Structure 1
């Protein structure tokens, strides 16, 4: 499962740099061009966890994505200044379904922050992908969580992938900062041992970020170089016979083949 958090480029706010909403949208859109160039070249489908606000501001893009890819919810707004409310979940879903024409089955919380997952079940979602079952100082301490797909609170939980040993996270920062050969090897090992792989990135990473005051580990590599790296990752995984599916399609397979083994 290749997944992308399709959101406003608001990460500079975490480091004290203000970026206008127009510019936030434009950076993400530039990155999307590069992401789609890779997905189209390899004829693979992905899941885009999209904020309701981004979808409302860019409906043509969402309609285009929905012709081939899955649209899922990334709540209403991604800004760290926004105070999350439970009503954001349904408002986001309403916007996404109206714009995309798809039924929205999945949800991912911005920044993978804790929230009441039971609310998703009450609202009729099928799956959640807001769990990074690893340990990162100051961010996550979730080594006690199940790293495998499971059913929780009436939902299918699709955790972001970590390696079977040491729970090393295979999230976007690992992809950016590890050499491709090492990252791809960890992905291949995890896929072989666990039978599935859930990777997540952000379209804005694939734009040129040189103008922004961000830590090197956040913005290097970016733009065309990171796009080439994504292409290399996909090519390597295809050589390992990886089958790329959307999150919802994986849930179909998991319910058929694995649910009885819980």
Structure 2
């Protein structure tokens, strides 16, 4: 019987989203907010004894090496470029720089990449530099952000690079990303995930550790900020329980790629 595989992924980055709404946050505060959410998140992952993938910026890793080493002892560390903030212009060479930082600190070989904000970039550089997979595609339509309905919503491989798209529902391409967990009732979001997993036998879900921090002091839109902290952690906890009830297996992205190669075809 074919296994149902779930990739829980977290973009481990500086808390810079207030910049999108005209607010300045010191680097110290950016790190503190992410760390606050991180330890709340780790309690859930440890309780459920599951492994996940952390797409981590090189800058965050340099500022928090002990945390990265702790995560690497159990979870996968993948690259989220060098910086997350748009204040730092992205350059292709940053991909190599960030990977070097992550590998030195974590002791892992970094095989995966996710572009900050899932922005367009030249994937050929990932192939050239020996990455195994990319997860920078959200094959949905969101006004002002994505118009990617023509993209393949299923895992695929091109010239040796595996593309692991963020999950959308089989119909309507409804995105199952972080804003959906926040804004949908927990039962409806879990049902959409279970339905998609049943149809496709895989889920790629992504969130951010800073979401699980206390964000009340920041002037962010309600759909970005609420719920936060313990309330959001409770929703994630319920989601994991629901997926476990369906005998889902939680794997890192790299482990999913192992499954891919063993089966010689994508799980759809």
TM category, shorter: over 0.9
Structure 1 residue 114: Cα displacement = 0.2
CA distance in 2, matches of 1:250, 1:260: 10
Matched, 1:57 2:95: no
Partners of 1:242 and 1:258 lie apart in 2 by: 21
Residue number in structure 1 paired with 2:165: 159
* CA–CA separation in structure 1 for the residues paired with 2:188 and 2:214: 24
2:86 is the alignment partner of 1:80: yes
Q: SS in structure 2 opposite 1:64?
A: helix
Which residue of 22, 27, 43 maps to 1:21? Answer: 27
- 1:69 maps to which residue? 75
Greater RCO structure (CA 8 Å; 6+ sep): 2
Is 2:129 the partner of 1:111?
Answer: no
Q: 1:220 & 1:243 partners in 2: Cα distance?
A: 29
How many residues align? The count is 262
Q: After TM superposition, list the pairs within 5 Å mapping 1:33-182 onto structure 2.
A: 33-182=39-188
- For the 8 Å contact 2:113–2:135, the answer to whether it is kept is yes
Superimposed CA distance per residue, residues 82-117 of structure 1 (whole angstroms, 9 cap, x where no aligned partner): 110000000000000000000000000000000000
Task: Return the alpha-carbon distance in structure 2 between the equivalents of residues 30 and 40 of structure 1.
Answer: 16
Secondary structure of the residue aligned to 1:197 is strand
Note if contact 2:260-2:266 (Cα within 8 Å) is conserved in structure 1. no
Say whether the 8 Å CA contact 1:118–1:153 is kept in structure 2.
no
- Correspondence for 1:239: 245
Aligned CA distance change for structure 1 residues 164 and 261 (closer, same or farther; 3 Å): closer
Structure 2 match to 1:4:
10
- For the 8 Å contact 1:132–1:140, the answer to whether it is kept is yes
Measured against aligned partners, the alpha-carbon deviations of 1:135-169 in whole angstroms (never above 9, x if no partner) come to 01110000000001100243000000000000000
The two structures have a TM-score, normalised by structure 2, of 0.96
Give the superposed CA RMSD: 1.1
| Secondary structure in structure 2 of the residue aligned to 1:182 | helix
Is the contact made by 2:155 and 2:267 (CA closer than 8 Å) also made in structure 1?
Answer: no
2:37 aligned to which of 2, 8, 31: 31
**Displacement of 1:255 after TM fit?**
1.4
Partner of residue 252 from structure 1, selected from 250, 255, 258: 258
